[in-house]
């Protein structure tokens, strides 16, 4: 066994123990750990030939596929950071991201590359036919690159290097990138594979997008365990059920809406239980109690254990509630998010900066080896969230940094944490954490909107619905709202499109003249 | 009013225009899921609409990308059930 410092160290260990074992299954094609080694070496060499240096960023704009998994390892082996791009992003978000972290090479599906403005990146590796657009100055065929000779040797890479940037919704109106080190990625994989008890016998379903911290985690944990990862792109219940059965999946991780879809297949699950499914893990929001009860009823009798996880992109992973403790989360007792993941401390810090007593509310502060490096290129946000450990002894002069999550929580006498709310206005929609400013920015971008206010309204099926209240610019004509909606659909991912867009003559303001989001959202909630 | 089977395509396109695309008409062969036109939750809403409008039942195993990949595919599924 090699020591685990980098993502590709995880590959080498699994390769050494069973090179012919299937690592990734994409549709009807199955790829071994040997294939993963060979093709990531070839792609790494081609990236290096295109000028990707240690520390440079490589964008991955291909849909979840064999090539997408190879791309992450290829970047890692030459000391570059991979940036998995949300496949639902439209051109404005992709172009912003490419500029924000200065993508050196974008590996993309041809149709996605062709949506981008000319010269968005210097070099693009395309999957599919040769692009017709001018999104890059130089084009390389991915298929050809994968057949290349490969690296003579890997570059020198350390665990302190930037491993990946995970983009989440930002309050400046555009996505912000969480800079995550090789160490964060590797330790995250160690922690999660340890408590999920992953082994080489596991057949893990990848049902979440790879740009999502929790989605990437299925790949890294499977890689570390020497297990087999099955890629699922569809999120329709029929495909989900068929994948679970056909591949005899042993572990699946998803977000609450996915379980709502799975429950649709209740009849089929009762008649033909998923006896191979060892665990189901939820992340990205709370499962509505009725759905959780039904899921337990359908899956627990045939031996599936249910883990409720709580992620924090700023620290990759944060807390989880173990299967035997699941009863602690209920409408009566509150939203129990469990305890810290292994090798991690969760502190509850009051406004005064002290540790809260049991039952007292405070901010969830995360300490441990998954605390990320900060927000890429955003000093203000980094200083706000990544702060010195408030409980460290004063003798430690250069104090370690911890993450202030913005979540308000409390701890009970036994040490279990309960989620109470958030200090900011983040909307939780379909497993995405969405900043209202990003929705407002998109609405204003239509050129027809004078003022915009977006907020979330509880809807158990999706978490929260996005609702927008706008005032129109002078001279906006009949049908303007339809055109605003059309603009939003064309320029933003589907989860950012408001469920309702309401028009007012003017939006209420607070004393300081800002749009009164709280007032507007509670007025809406009260009808 | 229950549309005739021949109207399945236009009924589906009308529903998409109203609920998903913000007024844009979707060609019968456009990829709905691969291109991210529809989210999975919108697909669930579409199934409810189809079941109500055409008096059919979509079975769990039929509710997949093959049957819901395009307007054409969905219309064929509806026609095969209503026939």
Is A242 in Cβ contact with B41 (below 8 Å)? Answer: no
Q: What distance in Å separates the CA atoms of residue A321 and residue A157, rounded to the nearest whole number?
A: 35
For a pLDDT cut of 90, what percent of chain B falls above it?
A: 41
Residue among B64, B74, B77 with most chain A CBs within 10 A, to mutate: B64
Can you tell me the distance from the alpha carbon of A178 to that of A373, in angstroms, rounded to the nearest whole number? 7
How far away is chain A from the Cα of B6, in angstroms, using its nearest Cα? 26
Look at residues A63, A66, A70, A84 and name the one whose alpha carbon lies nearest to residue A26.
Answer: A66
> Do residues A294 and A263 touch, judged by C-beta distance below 8 A?
yes
Q: Does B17 touch chain A (CB under 8 A)?
A: no
Cβ contacts of A488 within 8 Å, gap of 6 or more: A442, A443, A446, A496, A497, A498, B22
Please indicate whether, in this complex, the C-beta atoms of A234 and B61 are within 8 angstroms of each other.
Answer: no
Q: Under DSSP, is residue A458 helix (H, G, I), strand (E, B) or coil?
A: strand
Average pLDDT over residues A256-265: 86
- Structure tokens, A243: 């994948």
pLDDT of B77 above 70: yes
Q: How far apart are the first and last CA of chain A?
A: 62
Identify which of B22, B24, B40 has the shortest CB distance to residue A257: B40
Q: Residue B55 is part of a domain; what is its CATH number?
A: 1.10.1200.10
Instruction: Give dist(CA B80, CA A110) in Å, integer.
Output: 35
d(CA A45, CA A151): 5
Q: pLDDT digit string (tens) for A2-11?
A: 999 999 999 9
Helix (H) or strand (E) holding A145: helix A142-146
pLDDT at B4 over 60: no
* Cα–Cα distance measured from residue A201 to residue A171, given in angstroms and rounded to the nearest whole number: 42
Residue pair A175/A439 in contact (Cβ under 8 Å)? The answer is no
The partner residue sitting opposite A236, judged by closest CB among B23, B24, B65, is: B65
**CA-CA distance, B34 to B45, in Å (whole number)?**
18
Which domains does chain A show, CATH number per domain? 30-181 (3.40.50.980), 427-525 (3.30.300.30)
Nearest Cα to Cα of residue A247 among A225, A277, A212, A292:
A277
Across the interface, which of A233, A238, A489 has its CB nearest the CB of B62?
Answer: A238
pLDDT tens digit sequence for A117-148: 999 999 999 999 999 999 999 999 999 999 99
pLDDT over 70 for what percent of chain A? Answer: 100
Looking at chain B, which residue has its C-alpha nearest residue A499?
B19
Contact list, B33 vs chain A (CB under 8 Å):
234, 236
- pLDDT-based confidence at residue B35 (cuts at 50, 70, 90): low
Other C-beta atoms closer than 10 Å to the C-beta of A399 total 14
Interface of B with A in 57-76 (CB under 8 A): 60-65, 67-68
In whole angstroms, give the CA distance from residue A259 to residue A178: 28
Task: Pick A243 or B6 by higher pLDDT.
Answer: A243
pLDDT band at A426 (very low <50, low <70, confident <90, very high): confident
Establish if B42 touches chain A: CB-CB under 8 angstroms.
Answer: yes
By the CB < 8 Å criterion, does B44 face chain A?
yes
Q: Give the number of residues written for chain B.
A: 83
Does B40 touch chain A if contact means CB atoms closer than 8 Å?
A: yes
**What integer pLDDT is reported at residue B6 of this predicted model?**
58
**Residue A79 pLDDT exceeds 80:** yes
Q: Which residue has the tokens 């609450």?
A: A256
Residues A187-244: pLDDT tens digits? 999 999 999 999 999 999 999 999 999 999 999 999 999 999 999 988 788 899 999 9
Average of per-residue pLDDT across A495-500: 88
* Inter-chain CB proximity B61 and A485 less than 8 Å: no
Helix axes of A256-263 and B40-54: crossing angle, nearest 10 degrees = 30
Cβ of B60 and A237 within 8 Å? Answer: yes
CB nearest A267 (choices: B36, B40, B60): B60
Find the closest chain A residue to B17 by CA distance. A486
pLDDT band at B19 (very low <50, low <70, confident <90, very high): confident
Cβ separation of A234 and B64 shorter than 8 Å?
Answer: yes
The rounded distance, in Å, linking the Cα atoms of A27 and B45 is: 27
Residue A112 to chain B, least CA–CA distance (Å)? 9
β-pairing, A427-429 with A417-422?
unpaired
Residue B83 predicted with pLDDT over 70: no
Top mean-pLDDT range of A225-239, A415-429, A475-489:
A225-239
What does the alpha-carbon distance between residue B70 and residue A220 come to, in Å, rounded to a whole number? Answer: 34
Per the CB < 8 A criterion, the answer to whether A207 and A81 are in contact is no
Alpha helices in chain B (DSSP H): 8-19, 40-54, 65-68, 71-82
Inform me whether the pLDDT recorded for A245 exceeds 70: yes
**Residues 6 or more apart whose Cβ sits within 8 Å of residue A526:** none
Q: Among the residues of A50-199, which ranges form H helices?
A: 66-77, 91-100, 110-113, 142-146, 182-195
Dist. CA A88–CA A432, nearest whole Å: 12
- The bridge status of strand A463-472 relative to strand A29-32 is unpaired
pLDDT value at residue B36: 66
| B23·A430 Cβ contact <8 A | no
Instruction: Nearest by CB to A430, from B23, B41, B68: name it.
Output: B41
Mean pLDDT of A408-434: 88
Mutation for B interface: A109, A115, A237, A254, most B CBs within 10 A: A237
Report the range of poorest mean pLDDT among A102-111, A131-140, A214-223, B34-43.
B34-43
Q: Collect all residues of chain B within an 8 Å Cβ-Cβ radius of residue A495.
A: 39
Pick the residue with more confidence: A526 or A83? A83
Chain A CB contacts of B45 under 8 Å are none
In a mutagenesis test of the B interface, which of A234, A298, A497, A499 is the best target, namely the one with the most B β-carbons within 10 Å?
A234
ipTM: 0.81
Residue B39 has which token pair? 């989210």
pLDDT of residue B7: 84
Q: Give B7→chain A minimum CA distance, Å.
A: 25
Is some CB atom of chain A closer than 8 A to the CB atom of B6? no
- The residues, any chain, with a CB within 8 Å of residue A277's CB and separated by 6 or more, are A244, A249, A250, A251, A252, A299, A302, A303, A304
Q: Say if the Cβ atoms of A261 and B68 lie within 8 Å.
A: no
CB pairs under 8 A between A and B: 70
Where residue B74 falls (left for φ over 0; alpha for ψ -120 to 50; beta otherwise) is: alpha
SS (H, E, C) A364-402: EEEECCCCCCEECCCHHHHHHHEEECCCCCCCCCCCCEE
Closest CB from B40, B61, B67 relative to A235? B40
Residue range of the domain that includes B53 = 5-82
Share of chain A above pLDDT 90, in %: 75
Q: Is B36 on the interface with A (CB under 8 A)?
A: yes
Q: Where are the beta strands (DSSP E) in A257-360?
A: 279-282, 305-310, 319-321, 335-340, 345-349
Give the integer Cα–Cα distance in Å for A218 and A192.
Answer: 9
Interface contact A241-B61, CB threshold 8 A: yes
pLDDT at A186 over 60: yes
Domain count of the fold of chain B: 1
């Amino acid at each position: 066994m090699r020591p685990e410092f980098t993502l590709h160290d995880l590959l080498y260990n699994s390769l050494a123990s069973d090179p012919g074992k299937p690592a990734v299954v994409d549709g009807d094609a199955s790829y071994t750990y040997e294939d993963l080694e060979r093709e990531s070496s070839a792609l790494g060499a081609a990236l290096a030939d295109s000028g990707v240096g240690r520390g440079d960023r490589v964008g991955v704009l291909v849909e979840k596929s064999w090539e997408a998994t190879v791309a992450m390892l290829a970047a890692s082996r030459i000391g570059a950071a991979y940036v998995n791009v949300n496949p639902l992003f439209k051109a404005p978000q992709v172009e912003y991201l490419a500029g924000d972290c200065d993508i050196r090479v974008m590996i993309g599906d041809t149709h996605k590359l062709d949506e981008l403005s000319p010269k968005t990146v210097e070099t693009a590796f395309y999957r599919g036919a040769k692009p017709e657009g001018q999104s890059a100055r130089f084009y390389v065929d991915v298929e050809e690159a994968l057949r290349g000779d490969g690296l003579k040797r890997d570059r020198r890479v350390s665990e302190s290097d930037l491993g990946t940037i995970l983009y989440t919704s930002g309050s400046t109106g555009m996505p912000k990138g969480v800079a995550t080190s090789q160490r964060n990625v590797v330790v995250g994989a160690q922690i999660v594979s340890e408590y999920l008890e992953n082994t080489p016998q596991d057949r893990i379903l990848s049902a979440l997008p790879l740009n999502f911290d929790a989605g990437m985690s299925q790949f890294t944990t499977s890689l570390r365990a020497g297990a087999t990862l099955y890629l699922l792109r569809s999120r329709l219940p029929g495909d989900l059920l068929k994948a679970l059965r056909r591949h005899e999946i042993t572990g699946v991780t998803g977000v609450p809406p996915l379980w709502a879809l799975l429950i649709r297949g209740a009849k089929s699950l009762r008649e033909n239980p998923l006896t191979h499914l060892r665990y189901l893990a939820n992340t990205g929001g709370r499962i509505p109690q009725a759905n959780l009860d039904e899921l337990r009823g359908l899956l627990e009798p045939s031996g599936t254990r249910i883990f409720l996880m709580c992620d924090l992109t700023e620290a990759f992973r944060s807390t989880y509630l173990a299967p035997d403790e699941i009863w602690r989360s209920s409408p009566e007792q509150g939203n129990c998010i469990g305890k810290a993941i292994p090798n991690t401390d969760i502190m509850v810090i009051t406004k005064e900066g002290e540790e809260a007593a049991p039952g007292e509310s405070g901010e969830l502060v995360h300490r441990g080896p998954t605390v990320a490096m900060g927000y890429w290129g955003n000093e203000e946000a980094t200083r706000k969230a990544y702060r010195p450990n408030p409980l460290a002894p004063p003798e430690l002069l250069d104090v370690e940094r911890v993450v202030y999550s913005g979540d308000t929580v409390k701890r009970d006498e036994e040490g279990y944490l309960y989620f109470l709310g958030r200090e900011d206005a983040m909307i939780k929609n379909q497993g995405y954490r969405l900043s209202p400013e990003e929705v407002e920015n998109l609405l204003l971008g239509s050129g027809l909107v004078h003022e915009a206010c977006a907020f979330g309204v509880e809807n158990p099926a999706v978490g929260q619905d996005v609702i927008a209240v706008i005032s129109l610019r002078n001279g906006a004509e009949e049908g303007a709202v339809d055109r605003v909606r059309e603009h939003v659909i064309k320029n933003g991912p589907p989860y950012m499109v408001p469920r309702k867009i309401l028009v007012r003559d003017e939006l209420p303001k607070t004393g300081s003249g800002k749009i009164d989001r709280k007032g507007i959202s509670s007025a809406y909630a009260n009808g | 009013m229950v549309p005739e089977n021949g109207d399945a395509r236009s009924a589906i396109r009308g529903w998409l225009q109203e609920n998903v695309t913000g007024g844009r008409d979707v060609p019968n062969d456009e990829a709905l899921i691969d291109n991210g036109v529809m989210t999975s939750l919108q697909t669930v809403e579409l199934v409810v609409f189809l079941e109500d409008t055409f008096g059919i039942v979509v079975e769990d195993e039929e509710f997949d990308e093959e049957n819901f990949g395009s307007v054409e595919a969905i219309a064929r599924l509806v026609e095969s059930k209503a026939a």
